[in-house]
A and B are shown apart, each in its own frame.
Chain A
């Protein structure tokens, strides 16, 4: 479903529109939230951030909204995640040095050269993940980009949690070896 159809649905039937919006962007918001909260947020924090993002997005969107929804969803997701990250860091007593890369990452999104390099690395990473083949690539994506646990991944790929763990460990080993020359 594209953005126009989602907006149209929001106009005709708000609840169905909410669901369509959620279904279309849930994975996208998860990926952004996990990426920003990685290393500091728990699974529950990430879930909270996702819920908060959609609550805010749905509250702002209505039938009169026009234009593209995606950038709006992405921006809200990013801001919510950054805000939660700051809050978690302050609660955990973690201090960010003024020189640290992390501060730069939170303060500015305009580091063109770094972004290009990161993007190239991610492209390569995704390529290598795809080389792992299914279900390993799906397991790695679900775990490391969406923060899903073995039970949740198991339901998605129709495997037992223990099997997911085993395959994940082996796939990571393989992935590291595939990426050895690049990282």
Chain B
């Protein structure tokens, strides 16, 4: 790409340079003053750069644009060799290091499902570490629409391991159908503020919190949006809701691109709207067996950012703003997808990791009408309106039989 831009911008004649200079002044006053002062110093000293080295006067040193480098973190990421337990898979909450631990990588590699992504138009195949611009281009080059079928599954651990959300989204671009399942669970820490009475009422046994969950199963099927609200509570009768798909946030196949569902999209939007400054980029990381680029980003002032975009602040405690946020990400070099990130806001952390990434023929199709009908049979409609909804569309020929 460097060569490309050199070719594009490298043909200036003197007249062109003059024209550009007359329309676009370079730099701000501070920069101009700094350079002019150096010129004056040299003019007064009667020397040019050629004789500085031998003149014995103090040589001008151009500013060095240092970045905050955490070499250790970069090395750990590159090698995937961090030591320590996996709070993602084991629910520990005392590890505030930013890197995915080796356990995460190893266990995920062992269990996660991935396939090679088909070649897309833009790929970062250059060896070495991408520039900031290349990283942003890579992130923004992601295109969920490049794949006829796509599955992405993730785990989001928040509040230092207290709460976990697991999600799996499926899309079939041929039919336009999509589905997404989200399941929430918490560790014992989460329930400590509830009274014994409440816990007993809810049937929660603190020794078996791993089995307690609530869930949403969303089916974007033809013109319908159907959501089943589920729970591990045996006393809870699962309910479902039906609306026209066009009235939902999934009016077009956008289950992956919607920030409503994918935290990686939220993060990318924040990066693109200037929340973060990129501090460090490293190549050579692997995640899910895929080549990745890692980057550390830093938000110097959340308050300023939130005010700029017209939102409140990030409040960790009642009135306390956490004004400095660090974000570590792993970006898939082939697809531009964020496969992992860790958001550190003071003592609070959120960690997102993709654990399923399947393309085209390897991907599962979203659930068909017959499956959805069967799923609804054990549930109650959440309103009378839902109950009166015509669901005969679910009886129509399965999509798979209509294709080919």
Which residues of A come within 8 Å of B, CB atoms?
15, 18-19, 22-23, 25-28, 30-32, 35, 38-39, 43-44, 47-48, 50-52, 54-56, 58-59, 70, 74, 78, 115, 118-119, 121-123, 125-126, 138, 141-142, 144-146, 148-152, 155-156, 159-163, 165-166, 168-170, 172-173, 179, 183
Contacts and interface: CB of A to CB of B under 8 A. Distances in A.
B21 interface: yes
Interface of B: 2-3, 5-6, 8-28, 30-32, 35-36, 38-40, 42-43, 46-50, 60, 62-65, 132-133, 136-137, 140, 271-278
A152 B274 contact: no
A7 to B, nearest CB: 16
| Chain A interface helix/strand/loop/mixed | helix
A166 B271 contact: yes
A138 B24 contact: yes
A126 B137 CA distance: 22
B62 A54 contact: no
Contacts of A119: 11, 13, 15-16
A-B residue pairs, 9 tightest by C-beta: A163-B274, A27-B21, A44-B62, A31-B17, A118-B11, A28-B21, A35-B12, A146-B26, A144-B9
Nearest to B46: A59
18 contacts: A15-B40, A25-B21, A27-B26, A28-B21, A30-B21, A30-B26, A31-B26, A39-B10, A51-B42, A51-B49, A54-B39, A55-B43, A55-B49, A58-B39, A142-B26, A150-B132, A169-B137, A179-B8
Given A141-B20, A152-B28, A125 B9 contact: yes
A15 B30 CA distance: 18
Contacts of B18: 28, 70, 74
A160 B17 contact: no
Contact of A159 (B5, B14, B274): B274
A35 B132 contact: no
A30 to B, nearest CB: 5
